[in-house]
């Protein structure tokens, strides 16, 4: 058997893999012990990669939909000719902006897939590259940049004395990190604070706060009140580097812990205890969950306030605290685009698109359905979706399905015939990461504070007629007469071009099968430059003030809550949190893998037994869960750790789609993220 070292691209952890190949077929998978993040650990997804690779549900050939709704196999040339002809026609009639290109979460781990999609976008001339970052993670990056002038991340966990796990369940979503936390706590090398309405297993290992969903910002402000009132904040640091701190000191007087205790439903003494622990620990880092604090009405201010707490405690640019993200520099494949037409959502949410002249390549995907249906500010006539499943993941999926009917062309590039692909005009078969050669593990720096990369080696040849994403975009570009922008024909050519700004070559990557550190990590004892307009940490944001937003974090009740909408709460008396993670799946993926589906056969809502009793519901019983905009059916599961009056449901299940319960018009006013972590609901027995 041949051993091929690579990394897993099913999620952002990008764990190391030892793949064993015999007669050209993958026959065995083990964790790669040399990988600095995963250290040989694999989750159940990684353990079942052989079943994933050889699933009979793989799309192996280009397919087009016939008038009767059935599918017909076609050649790649026919697929490219059809798409090129239609896109040319749309461009001539409606302008290039009438094409939107959507990228799912898979392309976060597949760097080249996103990069070449963006290059095609620019070569064609459309501003509309949209992605899952319209509702996930991008606001965290922009909020930290807005506050610090750069993206900051937790240092390596080994150097951290106190980890604050806020709205995060790493044992389900980031197994290597969750396991490392548990190991370090049990070894007496790390202390934990867990803050979550759902008591996760890690909460048993440390201090725990259980706030009412949607009140996290009030809790943060109360912590700041305690730190400042008791004079236990990093006074010298914050007075030198905190822009607007005097105004902030006055601002937080509105949030004494006794008042916030009523808002969050947490005893004031517990708020004080946690605040004191955070303030007096050097080497403290907050670990946030993905799309938890983001998907609240106070999205941006939640992230900013987490950063302000890190600054108040003096844990910026210190070992074990938050440190600057250390990027691996690659060639920018984007091309200039006529900015006469801005991407969708740029007018409503300008900070999502541009901060201090730094433009991000994204449009806001949360307005896509509305723009297609209304054709304002301009029509969208074609959509190409790559590595995503927006029919299941966008709020109000029925609205998105209606929008798809208005399109002149809808193409999907994916591995499987998922719910989105079923509605397409044409489906193109993509390679799995095991069939590609690419840059791997670059997300490890962001998740684990380790500046590490490795070569993602091709383990097996592509099945059927599957092609890698960058090849698909390049060949389609050439077919449309844009070949000068896509001159690369081999993985080595493409990656040598991509790696050029880093100073490393494809051959260097090949010579380091276990990966390598691309730069040294230096943490200075004085703060590194804050690239904000003031040159300081922007506690008070002049940028937000200029755009008519609150310049400081200020608590706002969720759009729907027992406090903000008491009459609605009479009909919908429970609080719903959507999007909980389960370890065998990643978003909507892998439910067709029978061995993983056997672990969790169906969706289930977590509910405290006392809450269930109040509504006459029993464990493992099917119920109808309703919000003002929709209803779904799923079983309930008793969970003693759930906060009373709260239900938590997973996402990614098409047959019990949490997004059908989410109001697509309830968006945070700064970045346009949907509000689905604190919405009112009711349950009824079936």
> What is the tens place of the pLDDT at every residue in 222-253?
999 999 999 999 999 999 999 999 999 999 99
Q: Residue 423 pLDDT more than 80?
A: yes
- Domain at 152-324, CATH homologous superfamily: Dimethylsulfoxide Reductase, domain 2 (3.40.228.10)
Q: Which of 444, 417, 475, 361 is nearest to 73 (CA)?
A: 417
Residue-wise pLDDT tens digits, 145-163: 999 999 999 999 999 999 9
Q: Domain boundaries in the chain?
A: 152-324, 566-685
Q: Which of the residue ranges 103-117, 402-416, 470-484 would you say has the lowest mean pLDDT?
A: 103-117
pLDDT band at 42 (very low <50, low <70, confident <90, very high): very high
Average pLDDT score over the chain: 95
**Structure confidence by residue, pLDDT tens digits, 108-125:** 678 899 899 999 999 999
User: Dihedral through CA 160, CA 163, CA 167, CA 172, nearest 10?
Assistant: 70
What does the pLDDT read at residue 526?
A: 62
User: What CA–CA distance (Å, rounded) separates 59 from 172?
Assistant: 29
Residue 297 has pLDDT above 80, yes or no: yes
DSSP structure class, residue 108: H
Cis peptide upstream of residue 377 (ω within 30 degrees of 0): yes
pLDDT category, 528, cuts 50, 70, 90?
Answer: low
With cut-offs at 50, 70 and 90, classify the pLDDT of residue 290: confident
Candidates 669, 588, 668; CA nearest to 677 is: 668
Give the end-to-end CA distance of the chain in Å, rounded to a whole number: 54
| DSSP result, 637-657 | EE-TTBPTTEEEEES--GGG-
- Tell me the C-alpha distance between 154 and 447, whole Å: 8
For the segment 568-593, what is each residue's pLDDT rounded down to a tens digit? 999 999 999 999 989 999 999 999 99
Q: Using CA atoms, how far apart are residues 149 and 172, in angstroms rounded to an integer?
A: 32
566-685 maps to CATH 3.70.10.10: no
299 neighbors 178 (Cβ within 8 angstroms): no
| Distance separating alpha carbons of residues 96 and 340, to the nearest angstrom | 11
Task: Reply yes or no on whether the pLDDT at 560 is more than 90.
Answer: yes
Q: Is the confidence at residue 107, as pLDDT, over 60?
A: no
Q: Please give the radius of gyration of the chain, using alpha carbons only, rounded to the nearest integer.
A: 25
| Residue, of 360 and 650, whose pLDDT is higher | 650
When pLDDT is cut at 50, 70 and 90, the band that residue 21 belongs to is: very high
The mean per-residue pLDDT over the stretch 611-631 comes to: 97
Output the pLDDT for position 448.
86
Closest CA to 653 of 284, 372, 389, 346: 389
Phi, psi for 208 (deg, rounded to 5): -145, 135
Structure confidence at residue 335 (pLDDT):
85
Per residue in 506-517, pLDDT tens? 999 999 999 999
Contact status, residue 192 vs residue 205, Cβ threshold 8 Å: yes
Closest CA to 154 of 278, 285, 37: 285
More confident residue, 338 or 190: 190
As a whole-number percent, the residues of the chain with pLDDT over 90 amount to 91
0.75 cut: is pTM over it? yes
Average pLDDT for 254-270: 99
| β 604-607/646-650 pair status | antiparallel
Tell me which residue has tokens 């090849």: 471
In terms of phi and psi (left: phi > 0; alpha: psi -120 to 50; beta: otherwise), the region of 311 is: alpha
């Amino acid at each position: 058997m041949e051993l091929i070292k690579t990394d897993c691209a099913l999620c952002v952890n990008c764990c190391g893999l030892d793949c064993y190949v015999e007669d050209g077929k993958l026959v065995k998978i083990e964790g790669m012990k040399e990988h600095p993040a995963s250290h040989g650990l694999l989750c159940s997804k990684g353990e079942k990669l052989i079943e994933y690779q050889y699933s009979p549900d793989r799309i192996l050939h280009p397919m087009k939909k016939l008038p009767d709704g059935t599918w017909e196999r076609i050649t790649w040339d026919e697929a490219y000719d059809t798409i090129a002809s239609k896109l040319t026609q749309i461009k001539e009639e409606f302008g290039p902006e009438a094409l939107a290109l959507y990228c799912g979460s898979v392309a976060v781990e597949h760097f080249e897939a996103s990069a070449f999609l963006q290059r095609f976008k620019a070569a064609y001339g459309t501003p509309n590259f949209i992605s899952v970052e319209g509702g996930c993670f991008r606001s965290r990056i922009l909020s930290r940049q807005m506050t610090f002038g750069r993206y900051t991340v937790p240092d390596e966990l080994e150097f951290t004395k106190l980890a604050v796990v806020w709205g995060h369940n790493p044992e389900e979503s980031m197994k290597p990190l969750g396991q490392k936390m548990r190991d370090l706590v049990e070894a007496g090398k790390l202390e934990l604070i867990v803050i979550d309405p759902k008591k996760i297993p890690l909460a048993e290992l440390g201090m725990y706060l259980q706030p009412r969903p949607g009140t996290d910002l009030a809790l943060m402000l109360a912590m700041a009140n305690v730190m400042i009132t008791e004079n236990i904040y990093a006074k010298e640091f914050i007075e030198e580097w905190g822009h607007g701190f005097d105004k902030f000191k006055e601002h937080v007087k509105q949030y004494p812990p006794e008042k916030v205790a009523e808002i969050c439903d947490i005893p004031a003494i517990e708020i004080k205890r946690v605040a004191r622990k955070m303030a007096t620990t050097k080497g403290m880092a907050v670990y946030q969950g993905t799309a938890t604090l983001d998907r609240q009405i106070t999205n941006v201010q939640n992230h900013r306030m987490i950063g302000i707490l890190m600054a108040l405690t003096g844990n910026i640019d210190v070992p074990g605290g938050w440190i600057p993200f250390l990027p691996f520099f690659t060639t920018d494949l984007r091309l200039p685009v006529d900015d006469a037409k801005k991407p969708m959502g740029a007018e409503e949410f300008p900070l999502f698109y541009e901060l201090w002249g730094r433009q991000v390549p994204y449009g806001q995907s949360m307005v896509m359905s509305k723009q297609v249906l209304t054709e304002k500010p301009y029509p969208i006539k074609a959509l190409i979706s790559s590595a995503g499943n927006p029919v299941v993941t966008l709020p109000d999926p029925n609205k998105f399905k209606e929008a798809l009917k208005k399109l002149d062309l809808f193409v999907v590039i994916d591995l499987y015939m998922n719910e989105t692909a079923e509605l397409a005009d044409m489906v193109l078969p993509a390679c799995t990461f095991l069939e590609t050669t690419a840059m791997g593990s670059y997300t490890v720096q962001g998740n684990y504070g380790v500046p590490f990369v490795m070569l993602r080696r091709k383990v097996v040849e592509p099945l059927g007629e599957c092609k890698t994403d960058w090849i698909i975009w390049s060949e389609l570009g050439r077919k449309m007469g844009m070949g000068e922008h896509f001159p690369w024909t081999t993985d080595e050519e493409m990656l040598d071009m991509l790696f050029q700004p880093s100073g490393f070559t494809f051959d260097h990557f090949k010579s380091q099968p276990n990966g390598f550190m691309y730069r040294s990590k230096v943490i200075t004892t004085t703060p590194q430059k804050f690239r904000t307009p003031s040159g300081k940490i922007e506690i008070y944001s002049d940028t937000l003030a200029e755009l008519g937003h609150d310049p400081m974090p200020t608590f706002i009740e969720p759009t729907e809550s027992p406090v903000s909408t008491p009459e609605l709460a009479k009909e919908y008396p429970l609080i719903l949190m959507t999007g909980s993670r389960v370890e065998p799946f990643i978003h909507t993926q892998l439910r067709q893998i029978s061995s993983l589906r056997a672990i969790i056969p169906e969706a289930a809502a977590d509910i405290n037994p006392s809450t269930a009793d109040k509504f006459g519901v029993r464990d493992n019983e099917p119920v109808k869960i309703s919000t003002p905009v929709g209803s779904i059916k799923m079983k309930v599961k008793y969970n003693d750790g759930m906060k009373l009056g709260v239900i938590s449901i997973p996402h990614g299940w098409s047959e019990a789609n949490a997004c059908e319960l989410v109001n697509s018009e309830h968006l945070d006013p700064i970045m346009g993220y949907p509000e689905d972590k604190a919405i009112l609901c009711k349950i009824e027995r079936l």
